[in-house]
Amino acid sequence: MFITLEGPEGSGKTSQMSDLAKYLREQGYEVITTREPGGTSIGDQIRSVLTNLENTELMPRTEILLFLAARAQLVEQLIRPALENGKIVLCDRYGDSTLAYQGYGHQTDLDLLKRLLAFATGGLKPDLTLFLDIDVETGLQRKIDADEWNRLDAYEIAFHIRVRQGYKTLLAEEPERWVLIDASRPQAEVQKMMRQAVTFRLKMS
């Protein structure tokens, strides 16, 4: 089963994902965790270009292609082999991030993005996507407090609001794939909701 975590900045995906992986391993599942952009040695090199605050001249098309390049590498090198070996793959961000950030956020043509995405991933889609939702100001403040500010966070608030709204549109288009989780709730509660969503989906499969 291929599970992705999505959400605006500061939704706490990363630490929630490692707690979820730990729980699933305790239940006897083999679990691989990874993140985007990155997750492979080549992908991590691409990530450093994308997140470097000095790269102010990075062009929007270049940015899109770099996200997709990192993803293509990750799918081929790690995700597909793991799924073929019966493992659960948990991925911190995936194609929906490109649609939400580059599509809704930067207003790049969505149909074009979807075609590029299909090329980059060979059509691999998640079985389940957990959407950790948080309002934009709270999320960005969490990142500032944690000293995790990077080039991609530095867009104006209106951009981040479009991203969050974009996620909600994506969710409405494919409600059977997504589960919305209120990430403003205490951490333990968020984790509990995530576990319930995954357990339910595993029982169904």
Q: Minimum distance from CB of 5 to ligand TYD (Å)?
A: 9
Nearer to ligand TYD among residue 32 and residue 63 (C-beta) = 63
Nearer to ligand TYD among residue 29 and residue 159 (C-beta) = 159
| Dihedral over Cα of 201, 117, 154, 53: its sign | positive
How many residues can be counted in the chain? 205
Nearer to ligand TYD among residue 44 and residue 127 (C-beta) = 44
Side by side, the strands of the sheet bearing 88-92 are: 31-35, 88-92, 2-6, 128-133, 178-182
| Dihedral over Cα of 125, 129, 133, 138: its sign | negative
Measured from each CB, the residue nearest to ligand TYD is 101
Nearer to ligand TYD among residue 22 and residue 146 (C-beta) = 146
**Cβ neighbours of residue 171 under 8 Å, at least 6 residues apart?**
131, 178, 180
Q: Minimum distance from CB of 93 to ligand TYD (Å)?
A: 4
CB neighbourhood size of 38 (10 A): 22
Give contact residues for ligand TYD (rule: CB under 6 A).
9, 14, 36-37, 67, 93, 97-98, 101-102, 150, 152-153
Q: Minimum distance from CB of 135 to ligand TYD (Å)?
A: 14
